[in-house]
Chain A
Amino acid sequence: MSSELPAAGALPAVSPARVLAGLSLLVPIVAMLWVPSYTKTAPELGGIPFFYWYQLLWVPVSAVFTGAAYLLIRRDEAARRAASTAFALPAQSEGGELS
């Protein structure tokens, strides 16, 4: 059985970086599922109805949010690694359960 308990000395499962990253990932999903907010033709942009250019605009915007989540998680993971090697010395590596 593997409940996802953090190893001794590791950071707690919920950290500010993880929460922020989660929110960054949630924003584009919510924006796109909220169809009533964008299913209209006006205002047009260069002749393209709102419905189309708004969703196209969200493509790069979603990439920015996902990129932010990546940077946050990378920092968080580095901190976790540092914490677990500092506190749980060699004997407590991932071994043992592999076979």
Chain B
Amino acid sequence: MKHVDWTALTVFLLFFAVVTVMGFLASRWRRADDAQHLHEWGLGGRSFGTWITWFLLGGDLYTAYTFIAVPAAIYATGAAGFFAVPYTIIAYPLVFLFLPRLWSVSRVHGYVTPADFVRGRYGSRGLSLAVALTGILATMPYVALQLVGIQAVLDTLGVGGSGNWFMKDLPLFLAFGVLAAYTYSSGLRAPALIAFVKDTLIYVVIIVAVIYLPMKLGGYGHIFDTAAQKFSTVNPDTGKPIGSLVVGPAGQWTYATLAFGSALALFMYPHSVTGVLASKSRNTVRRNMAIMPAYSLMLGLLALLGFMAIAAGVGKGVKGYNAQLAVPQLFADMFPSWFTGVAFAAIGIGALVPAAIMSIAAANLFTRNVYKDFLKPDATAADETRVAKIASLLVKVGALAFVLVMDKQAAINLQLLGGLWILQTAVSLVAGLFTRWFHRWALLAGWAVGMVYGTWVAYGISSKATKHFGGNSSQIPVIGKIGYIGLTAFVLNLAVAVVLTLLLRALKAPEGADETSPADYSAEAGDESVERAPQPVVAH
């Protein structure tokens, strides 16, 4: 059944070779003097201007897995999967309020990770550790899913997938070996440079797809009619239609809470923060919040490909068809071979960029908030960089093992949980940027309650594909509607933090030292405080 499309494969490999060379050359790009310092390797020297940041963040947030999963959700259920669009619309105005403050305080105090800030603000290594571990835990399955994205493309190309386990996954080993090597040598500069290629390819592919495919499929009217017909089929298990073109009354809370909760969680992810802290000024961050929606538009158009896959008859009549393959299959069926190669290269490279940034972000967290804070407090800047480089390799090996040993479903489940978990760090991080009112122990307790509640509720959800962790929404206590578990857990987390803060303040529990001052939160590049303090105050 497998046949290899050589033209597509050649084009794919060509692009892959180009970005590999770029990845290694990136270490010489905009090189600074203190190459041994972690903010050089892990934050690209905090030097990126508006356009580089735009490409970097776009390459970082809109991952290959997104490109596969969003249209796959649309393909499978229709409107419910479209929440990714309001999610990415809400995200930028929402984070516009606090990201500039995070940039400023991190710049003044030399913070590399969100957990660095939490430690400095609350004087609590415990709270910082909780934030760091949550970040690492949420990021690992996300890296693993990027591999799943590459796998989907390789499968459709007809390479791998046969023979013994080693031959089967050899292409994946090669792709990740290369990725690991240039991330190790070039740090954040590698994905920043490659992001240019990735994003350009993605834009070209999407624009061509949303014009060319409807022409071949009889127009948008016909595409949506076919989809409506498919969704009206009744699922014999539930007795309800399998999908819908609009969100029904029962699904509206789910749609809105998923959009809002995911938007709030987006910039809690360590890799998003890494992208933000790598920019060179406060206003660079703000400008990007206004221009990032260009990517959201692309994501929205891409989502429509799910409908086109239905109209093109992808997977029609195949029992238990894997929706994740719908878009790669659509490309392979509809595009000429050479352009299929371009499209697949876009997805493949689209996996490498975020995987690199995520592993760097996780490595920064480990180095700063576990290694330096707990294992070796007198680590020098060079030690930090060395440890971070090794940690970034381990993260990738871990992700690879994850995909190979555990099944794909486990990665998907864990990534859903990851979003829920990372949202629980929002109270410490976002509230901390505006006020020191919350007590550190109350925040820690709130975090723990949110994590346990969310995980416990998610554990109880089964779906056709999996016994536990089969979804991300459940009944909201008190309100009684079905909503995003992560957001419910977040509200519970906040409530616990408020009540316990009142209690701890009444008891006069020790508050911990705050090393930041109000002016730090509005510092801009060029200010005296920024010029004076590029390094962490914990001197070495």
Name the prevailing secondary structure of the A interface residues. Answer: helix
Residue in A5, A7, A32 whose CB lies within 8 Å of B86: A32
Q: Does A93 contact B (CB under 8 A)?
A: yes
Q: Is the CB of B435 within 8 A of A4?
A: yes
| With A51-B79, A67-B290, A69-B93: A94-B523 Cβ-Cβ less than 8 Å | yes
Task: Work out how many contacts link A and B, with CB atoms closer than 8 A.
Answer: 150
| With A63-B291, A70-B287, A70-B289: A51-B90 Cβ-Cβ less than 8 Å | no
Q: Is the CB of A5 within 8 A of B518?
A: yes
Q: Is the CB of B92 within 8 A of A62?
A: yes
Residue in B291, B300, B521 whose CB lies within 8 Å of A55: B300
Q: Does B514 contact A (CB under 8 A)?
A: yes
Q: Is the CB of B96 within 8 A of A55?
A: no
Count residues of A near B (Cβ-Cβ below 8 Å): 48
Q: Is the CB of A66 within 8 A of B245?
A: no
Residue in B252, B522, B537 whose CB lies within 8 Å of A39: B252
Residue in A39, A48, A77, A93 whose CB lies within 8 Å of B220: A48
- A8 contacts across to B, CB distance below 8 A: none
How does the 8 Å CB contact mask read for B86-125 relative to A, with 1 for contact and 0 for none? 1011101110110000000000100000000000000000
Q: Does B434 contact A (CB under 8 A)?
A: yes
* Nearest opposing residue in chain B for A48, CB measure: B220
Give chain A nearest CB distance to B479 CB in angstroms: 14
**Complex alpha-carbon distance, A93 and B533, angstroms:** 14
Q: Is the CB of A66 within 8 A of B96?
A: yes
- A26 contacts across to B, CB distance below 8 A: 93
Give chain B nearest CB distance to A36 CB in angstroms: 6
Segment from B165-173, B254-262, B313-321, B381-389 that makes contact with A: B254-262
Residue in A32, A62, A94 whose CB lies within 8 Å of B529: A94
Residue in B86, B259, B260, B519 whose CB lies within 8 Å of A94: B519
Size class of the contact patch on chain B: 35 or more
| With A25-B97, A41-B245, A41-B246: A35-B286 Cβ-Cβ less than 8 Å | no
How does the 8 Å CB contact mask read for A34-67 relative to B, with 1 for contact and 0 for none? 0110011100101111011001101110110111
**Complex alpha-carbon distance, A95 and B519, angstroms:** 9
Give chain B nearest CB distance to A87 CB in angstroms: 14
- B435 contacts across to A, CB distance below 8 A: 3-4
Q: Is the CB of A55 within 8 A of B520?
A: no
Indicate the member of A36, A60, A95, A97 with the most B CB atoms within 10 Å: A97
* Nearest opposing residue in chain A for B223, CB measure: A47
Give chain A nearest CB distance to B146 CB in angstroms: 25
- A56 contacts across to B, CB distance below 8 A: 85, 297, 300-301
Residue in A51, A58, A97 whose CB lies within 8 Å of B89: A58
**Complex alpha-carbon distance, A63 and B533, angstroms:** 34
Q: Is the CB of A59 within 8 A of B85?
A: yes
Q: Is the CB of A66 within 8 A of B93?
A: yes
Q: Does A89 contact B (CB under 8 A)?
A: no
- A29 contacts across to B, CB distance below 8 A: 90, 93-94, 260
Q: Does B203 contact A (CB under 8 A)?
A: no
Q: Does B376 contact A (CB under 8 A)?
A: no
Q: Is the CB of A66 within 8 A of B290?
A: yes
- A66 contacts across to B, CB distance below 8 A: 92-93, 96, 289-290, 293
Q: Does A33 contact B (CB under 8 A)?
A: yes
Q: Does B185 contact A (CB under 8 A)?
A: no
- A14 contacts across to B, CB distance below 8 A: none
| With A4-B518, A47-B219, A47-B222: A25-B300 Cβ-Cβ less than 8 Å | no
Give chain A nearest CB distance to B296 CB in angstroms: 5
Q: Does A91 contact B (CB under 8 A)?
A: no
**Complex alpha-carbon distance, A51 and B224, angstroms:** 12
Give chain A nearest CB distance to B263 CB in angstroms: 8
Would you list which residues of chain B between 507 and 540 have a CB under 8 Å from chain A?
A: 514, 516-524, 527-529, 532-533, 537
| With A32-B259, A74-B286: A55-B293 Cβ-Cβ less than 8 Å | no
Q: Is the CB of B260 within 8 A of A39?
A: no
Q: Is the CB of A74 within 8 A of B517?
A: no
- A59 contacts across to B, CB distance below 8 A: 85, 88-89, 293, 296-297, 300
Residue in B221, B259, B301 whose CB lies within 8 Å of A44: B221
Q: Does B436 contact A (CB under 8 A)?
A: yes
- A5 contacts across to B, CB distance below 8 A: 518
A-B contact pairs, 29 of them (CB 8 A): A1-B436, A4-B521, A5-B518, A25-B97, A32-B86, A33-B90, A33-B259, A39-B252, A48-B220, A49-B224, A51-B247, A52-B300, A55-B85, A55-B300, A56-B85, A59-B85, A59-B88, A59-B296, A60-B297, A62-B89, A62-B92, A66-B289, A70-B96, A73-B286, A74-B283, A94-B519, A95-B528, A97-B516, A98-B537
Q: Which are the 7 A-B pairs with shortest beta-carbon distances? A: A47-B221, A47-B220, A97-B517, A32-B86, A94-B519, A25-B93, A63-B293
Please name 4 further chain A to chain B contacts, defined as beta carbons within 8 Å, in addition to the given A32-B90, A56-B297, sorted by A numbering: A62-B293, A70-B286, A70-B287, A70-B290
